[in-house]
């Protein structure tokens, strides 16, 4: 991206109180491990214009990480569905590698990239399919979610888990809009990791297996 809509504040110009957040964001994926509670590099560099907001958002994700209630694979799955429905390339490029590291298969990831999840029911467990449906309904039309669907959800998740995933998916849609409105570009490491999963001769083929 050559013409930035806002200036991204480099680490050497950021307040000292934000340096640890910069370090955590920049370290994501470098050791091939799932990162801890963190925002991504260019999000951090944009939000550094409002340091207190950046620190507050980090605290939200630290709260998620301090007492996780839902399997990371399922959270990443829901985030990918929200981001694919919203067509947010920034979040898709970041969370696809993280979802793979958390346990989603390459076939599942390629189907999400192609928006083919409804054509490949054999790829999803019962819990995964519930997450897909919930994330999609939340993103498209949450007012249409029925009590009957919630009865299904409660067969697999308790109230705290439902609150956790609901907030995660709602925040994801907010991030999708933040990233796209500011036209944030994804960092090179995530571009490469995303391409390794979704680009190649097998892309799309496994979705119809």
Q: Specify the pLDDT at position 32.
A: 55
108 and 204 part of one domain: yes
- Write out residues in the chain with pLDDT < 70, as ranges: 1-2, 29-35, 199-209
Pick from 19, 49, 67: which residue ends a domain? 67
SS3 10: coil
Q: Specify the pLDDT at position 209.
A: 35
46 and 60 part of one domain: yes
Range of the domain at 74: 69-208
Q: Specify the pLDDT at position 27.
A: 78
Other beta carbons within 10 angstroms of residue 72's beta carbon come to: 15
| Helix-, strand-, coil-residue percentages of the chain, each rounded to 5 | 70, 0, 30
160 and 63 part of one domain: no
Rounded Cα gap, residues 6 and 183, in angstroms: 9
Three-state SS for 24-67 is HHHCCCCCCCCCCCCCCHHHHHHHCCCHHHHHHHHHHHHHHHHC
| Residue 185 structure tokens | 């570009």
With a CB cutoff of 8 Å and minimum separation 6, the contacts of 14 are: 22, 48
Q: How many domains does the chain have?
A: 2
Pick from 67, 85, 120: which residue ends a domain? 67
Q: Specify the pLDDT at position 1.
A: 44
Q: Specify the pLDDT at position 19.
A: 93
């Amino acid at each position: 991206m050559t013409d930035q809509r806002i200036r991204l504040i480099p680490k050497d110009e950021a307040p000292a109180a934000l340096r640890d957040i910069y370090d955590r964001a920049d370290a994501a994926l470098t050791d091939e491990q799932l990162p801890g509670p963190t925002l991504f590099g260019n999000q951090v560099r944009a939000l550094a214009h409002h340091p207190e907001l950046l620190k507050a958002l980090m605290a939200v994700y630290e709260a998620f990480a301090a007492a996780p209630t839902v399997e990371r694979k399922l959270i990443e799955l829901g985030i990918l569905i929200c981001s694919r429905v919203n067509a947010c390339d920034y979040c898709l490029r970041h969370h696809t590698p993280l979802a793979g590291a958390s346990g989603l298969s390459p076939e599942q990831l390629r189907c999400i990239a192609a928006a083919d999840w409804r054509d490949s029911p054999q790829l999803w467990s019962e819990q995964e399919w519930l997450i897909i449906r919930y994330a999609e309904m939340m993103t498209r039309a949450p007012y249409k979610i029925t009590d009957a669907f919630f009865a299904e959800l409660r067969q697999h998740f308790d109230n705290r888990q439902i609150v956790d995933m609901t907030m995660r998916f709602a925040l994801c849609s907010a991030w999708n809009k933040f990233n796209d409105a500011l036209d944030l570009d994804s960092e090179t490491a995530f571009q490469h990791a995303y391409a390794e999963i979704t680009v190649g001769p097998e892309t799309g083929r496994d979705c119809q297996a």
